[in-house]
Structure 1
Amino acid sequence: MINFPCFICLQKQSLDTMKRLKIEDSIQEKTLRKIMELLLNIDWSLSSDELENEVNIVFRGEIGNADPFKQIKDINNKESMKLIEAIKEKIKQTDADKKIAKATLAAIAGNIIDFGPDKNFNVGKTLQKFLKKKRLPRDFNYLREELLTANTILYFLDNAGEIVFDKLLLETINSLRNKPFSRISLVVKGGPFVNDVTLTEALSIGMNEIPNVEFRKIGNGEPDTGPNRKSAIVEKWIKEHDIVLSKGQANYAGLHSYKNIYFLLIAKCAYSASVLNVPEGSLIIKRSI
């Protein structure tokens, strides 16, 4: 299926980012022309995450900034940290059998932090809305059971800011298990890509302090930044872990063909909602089988 809406969205995202960064008009025009030229000639059967990689390589090169969202990522982490204590208190006051549900809802709510499909997000309001939910998708029951019994976990992270709530989810799970995971493998981007989390942002909020954690990197489309989501290397990672979690739309686009992955995300655009067969804005907990 050709992702026609993604071609428009990627151009708009690039323009919005340049305006936010106050890039001069002549560079904006040159960059957009380069991106349009790329999209005219690229393989249109690529998945949306692969298209994003290629567009963002051109974008970063044309504006002369290897990590244009660096400051924004730092701000997102700090803003999420301001919210986390109140969420911890809510989880603390929740019955033991519902703590993982609350932490999972918070982690998915954090997925609203995205400068791709929806730059006008409100994390606080999304948290309030999601934490009130009484019923979760059916696949949550399988997820909860596996989180408590699995020995190893592979966790594909998504955005800066969002990772503060991912850390809380892992901490909550560990507090309820009979013993810690023997290995928690956190997957980050191996190079800058919009507001996606890299090792730098993960370390800045102390994700390395989680017991038995290690980090793995997937590529941003540039050489030596890590493997593609569809590579044999990533397939091997998936097979060697007892449970796999994937956050966000781009990870879903790149990983949905694999079996036994739990996808946690918000359907933030009309195209993703149509692929997932849900209303736009829906909370998703989906197990691939």
Structure 2
Amino acid sequence: MKISYECGPCFLRQAREAMDLSTGDELLKMELMEDIFEFLHDNFKLGANSNSTGSAMHNMIKQKTGCRDPYHKEKIEGNEIALKYLPDVKKILENDDSLENYVKIAIIGNILDFGAFTLDDDIESVIKDSLKKDLVIKDIEEFEESLKTNDNVLYLVDNTGEIVFDKLLLAKIKEYGLNITIAVKSEPILNDACMEEALDAGLDEFGEIVEIGAGTVGYVDSEISDEFRKIFDAHRFIISKGMGNYEGLTEIDLSEKEIYFLLCSKCGTISKDIGVNLHDMLLFKK
């Protein structure tokens, strides 16, 4: 996906937040912000890739501060919030164990995104409100048909915290008899799930966990490893969680894939691109 003018303030907000999480050195943060202004001056332009631009900016911050995982504490907080609400969502599934409800709850987990919300947002209230909402786009019949007619699925996870809710959908998918491959980031970026967090959450109970070979914001096709490219190419059926993966995957040819996007639209640019409202929850086939 290409950047829009709205991405500019978002990049700067994320930069400030990541710097504050990485270091208390005010002079270093000033130097970094100067570097980021220079970088955006050279690279923030019509036609630029949003994921590549954001990834480069975050890597600048990590390299200059020496902080490999700025969002480490926030990832722990995300898991704690998800675990707090897990009993509530399990009660919902006890009353209605439809596939649509499992999908809805997995998408609600996508709200736990500190790249889209600020650290001061009342995320818990957002989750409570979202539990009451319906999916705006729900290609549920096509999705279930894909579950019934495929032997394998590649599940691209998104955020730590969110993966706690993903486990419920993964368990439902297993009921259809599919072999599941679960893809995570190779290096920390924002609060995205890496191998350590995926194993801690117990995702390996549902399938093989593989790394994409990069630590990028969302999916960046030019950055994935040769090993993961073979895995990606071998899968016809793909489930993609979150905005970052949507932004990256819509940049490549998916005509031979059965790919479903599960996300909560948390920014104006993506909402306009898909044709939905801010905070709408979606399951759609691309």
TM > 0.5 between the two? Answer: yes
What is aligned with 1:270? 268
Matched residue SS, 2:67: coil
Contact 2:263 2:283 in 1 (8 A): yes
**Aligned mates of 2:148, 2:126 — CA distance in 1:** 27
User: Aligned equivalents of 2:187 and 2:135: distance in 1?
Assistant: 37
Rate the CA distance shift 1:116–1:271 in 2: closer, same or farther, 3 A: same
The 1:121/1:147 distance shift into structure 2, 3 A limit, reads farther
2:210 maps to 1:215: yes
Moved more, 36-45 or 53-62: 36-45
Partner Cα distance (1:130, 1:141) in 2: 22
Letter in 2 for 1:9: C
Q: Is the 8 A contact 2:18 2:58 kept in 1?
A: no
Superposition map of 1:74-223 within 5 A: 74-94=76-96, 96=97, 98=98, 100-119=99-118, 120-133=120-133, 137-174=137-174, 176-177=175-176, 180-181=177-178, 183-210=179-206, 212-220=207-215
Q: 1:20 to 1:191 in 2, by over 3 A?
A: closer
Q: Render the CA deviation track for 1:68-114: whole Å, top value 9, x for unaligned.
A: 111221221132122212212221221x5x2x211111111111111
Confirm or deny: 8 A CA contact 1:105 1:130 kept in the other structure.
no
Q: Is 1:9 matched up with 2:10?
A: yes
152 and 203 in structure 1: CA distance in 2 versus 1, 3 angstrom threshold: same
After superposition, the Cα gap between the structure-2 partners of 1:75 and 1:41, relative to the gap in structure 1 and judged at 3 Å, is same
TM-score by length of 1: 0.85
Q: What letter corresponds to residue 11 of structure 2 in structure 1? A: L
Cα distance in 2 between the residues matched to 1:274 and 1:173: 31
Instruction: Check whether the contact 1:262–1:287 (CA below 8 A) recurs between aligned residues.
Output: yes
Q: Aligned partners of 2:114, 2:124: CA distance in 1, in Å?
A: 16
Say if 1:77 and 1:160, in contact at 8 Å, map to a contact too.
yes
- Measured after TM superposition, the shift of residue 135 of structure 1 is 5.8
Cα deviation for residue 162 of structure 1 reads 0.5
SS at match of 2:68: coil
Residue 106 of structure 1 contacts residue 127 of structure 1 at CA under 8 Å; is this kept in 2?
no
The amino acid of 2:111's aligned partner reads I
Deviations along 1:240-278, whole A, 9 cap, x unmatched? 224201111111111013233111111101111111121
- The total of aligned residue pairs comes to 276
Contact 2:3 2:50 in 1 (8 A): no
Query: Where does residue 48 of structure 1 map in the other structure?
Result: 50
Q: Deviations over 1:129-162 (max 9, x none)?
A: 3443456524122112222442111011111000
Report the AA paired with residue 63 of structure 2: G
- Asked if 2 retains the 8 angstrom alpha-carbon contact of 1:114 and 1:121, the reply is no
TM-score (norm 2): 0.86
1:43 deviates by: 6.9
- Which amino acid counterpart does residue 29 of structure 1 have in structure 2? M
Q: CA deviation at 1:47?
A: 1.6
Unaligned runs of 5+ in 2: none
CA separation of 1:122/1:162 partners in 2, compared to 1, >3 Å: closer, same or farther?
farther
Pairwise CA distance, 1:167: 1.2
Distance 1:60 1:232 in 2: 21
Instruction: Provide the secondary structure at the position in 2 that maps to 1:246.
Output: strand
Query: Could you tell me how far apart the structure 2 residues matched to 1:32 and 1:3 are?
Result: 21
CA–CA distance in structure 1, aligned partners of residues 58 and 18 of structure 2? 11
Q: What is the CA–CA distance in structure 2 between the aligned matches of 1:118 and 1:157, rounded to whole Å?
A: 18
Shift of 1:125: 3.6
Q: CA contact under 8 A between 1:192 and 1:220: conserved in structure 2?
A: yes
Q: How far, CA to CA, are the matches of 1:22 and 1:30 in structure 2?
A: 12
Q: Does 1:72 find its partner at 2:102? A: no
Q: What secondary structure does 2:231 align onto?
A: helix
